[in-house]
Structure 1
Amino acid sequence: MKKVRMILCGSVEPSSQNQSENVGVVSVVYVSEDEQNVKNKLEELQEANPDNFYMEYEVPMDEDLTLLEHYPSIEISKEDLR
């Protein structure tokens, strides 16, 4: 089964609707089939942006990820948004 690796980034940013409030943002920031490329990019991103939270995932191609037991996601709590 063909798989793809991805890096997700979780960050806290000012709301575009209300600058006095923060929101949690989760973004897919890198995708590759090559494990070493992903490891290198993850290290680079973590060093350049230490305040962001990065996670690496490996997922099967052509798959409805919502049907899996666990799929790429980052939980951001209200405390994180302060």
Structure 2
Amino acid sequence: MGGLPNVIGRLAPGATFDHARTELISIAQQIETEHPSYSRNWRVDVAALLDATVKDVRAKLPQWSRCIADAFASDEGEDRD
């Protein structure tokens, strides 16, 4: 989710991401036609809120898990008196 305003919505029952994306792109093109200078620096996209908010975290989880496992493994090897 970028630096520009984001809009969160809910799909109607039976609606799909593809249908919502197609409809929003059509609306964006109409706005661009009517107001070319206004719509120059923005775009329309549709994504699941979960994917939009945690996609970067999900990609890093395996790396974090290895770091934590390594930390525990090295901690177990130390003598504690």
Q: Which structure's CA Rg is the greater one?
A: 2
TM bin (shorter chain): 0.3 to 0.5
Query: Larger helix proportion, structure 1 or 2?
Result: 2
Instruction: Identify which of structures 1 and 2 has the higher relative contact order when contacts are C-alpha pairs closer than 8 Å and 6+ apart.
Output: 1
Query: Larger strand proportion, structure 1 or 2?
Result: 1
TM-score norm. by structure 2 comes to: 0.36
TM-score norm. by structure 1 comes to: 0.36
